[in-house]
Structure 1
């Protein structure tokens, strides 16, 4: 994520005609030039996969999404930062009776996910928000999400950048609001200092860790799907950590 992609630090101010607040956003939005097929996926598939009107242009009054209408009454899960969609698609296939909203601002990752879904013939229990998770939180109803996933988020290794990590109160407070009471929040990372910050900040936001010892975070979940990123981390000698929390 780059320093020059900022939208301001004061959420109470705005310079957008749509009424959107200024929000700092750090990170890549675009990578390599998309090929023609990926452009088609984004143009044809992404609009119909939206969870609803999330953008400030479409929903300036920030009316809450009707998830029951959108997903036919299915329980709804959320994955923040799904990368290329490997885990998202695996979970959607494993749990066809659950709807999963994937949130990812990196356009190339979204295009890769859409391409994978096309090759599978589509998935009717997946919705995709190609943007900032905070905008999605704005329009999700209170206690509407049954489970959430944060897999290998951007590590921001420099100490002065730790405030940019997802596991800060700026992100965790709205996540707590949209999760149901007793909902599970899973975090996977290979960065020891990210483990430290997660274990400090997530309980502060109102979650309890479900492990009993450090050994508990070394074992992946029974339905876990190891992504290419995790396999690369293991090859390079980094140890994955799997932390499970519950909303109190």
Structure 2
């Protein structure tokens, strides 16, 4: 483990159900070509454009892509955009790789680590959009420090986002919904774009649903969908 990797601990499960042999082979065969390596040098800057074989029109980042269905749908809808997905859950990575193979997506790259480590290496004003969809709410008070939405993390994300870039967030957990709104509204770099209740009560047409969202609604939990703009 490098010195940088030891700076932060990724919380949560790495593997859920044991991966079937086909998915294990898929990771072995497909992930190396799509994997984003983090440098050992803490001061080294990565050019996200260099992750892709063809220079993308823009760079979008999804933090914690879960099963990958949202990221894959966006990558298919916007083939000119370079999609970076960050996830530590191996089952989710395998699911995204399967989507990439079935849809023949060549504009997806994956970091199997903590998104905050990637943000540390990104240059200023390099991201055109970012997503944080249904993250683990860590509901216990003593675990709130594990939540991705924190002032320091938002500072790093704001630095990497271009002025005018959009940051989309979603959650079905009432406590985390309040947490998200409070921290986002308190941060000077972000502006909430909602002008009416429908803007946060409903997904926009260019925002594909996830399986987690459908499960939450089926169980009676109402998600919110937030859009913030980098000032």
Normalization by structure 2: what TM-score? 0.91
The equivalent of 1:49 in structure 2 is 34
Alignment gaps of 5+ in structure 1? 1-15
Matched, 1:128 2:113: no
**Counterpart among 119, 123, 141 of residue 102 in structure 2:** 119
Shift of 1:86: 0.2
RMSD: 1.7
Matched, 1:36 2:18: no
Contact 2:119 2:156 in 1 (8 A): yes
Query: For this pair of structures, how many residues does the alignment match?
Result: 228
Q: Provide the C-alpha distance between the structure 2 equivalents of 1:177 and 1:95, rounded to a whole number of angstroms.
A: 24
Alignment gaps of 5+ in structure 2? none
Q: Bigger relative contact order, structure 1 or 2, given CA contacts below 8 A and separation 6+?
A: 2
Q: Provide the C-alpha distance between the structure 1 equivalents of 2:63 and 2:4, rounded to a whole number of angstroms.
A: 24
Give deviations 1:64-86, integer Å, cap 9, x for gaps. 22223333142000000000100
Change (3 A) 1:19 1:175: closer
Matched, 1:59 2:40: yes
**Counterpart among 87, 102, 106 of residue 85 in structure 2:** 102
The equivalent of 1:217 in structure 2 is 200
Q: Provide the C-alpha distance between the structure 2 equivalents of 1:81 and 1:179, rounded to a whole number of angstroms.
A: 17
Q: Provide the C-alpha distance between the structure 1 equivalents of 2:138 and 2:114, rounded to a whole number of angstroms.
A: 17
Moved over 6 A (4+): none
Give deviations 1:72-121, integer Å, cap 9, x for gaps. 1420000000001000000001111111100001111101111222222x
Q: Provide the C-alpha distance between the structure 1 equivalents of 2:9 and 2:49, rounded to a whole number of angstroms.
A: 31
Q: Provide the C-alpha distance between the structure 2 equivalents of 1:190 and 1:64, rounded to a whole number of angstroms.
A: 35
Q: Provide the C-alpha distance between the structure 2 equivalents of 1:166 and 1:17, rounded to a whole number of angstroms.
A: 22
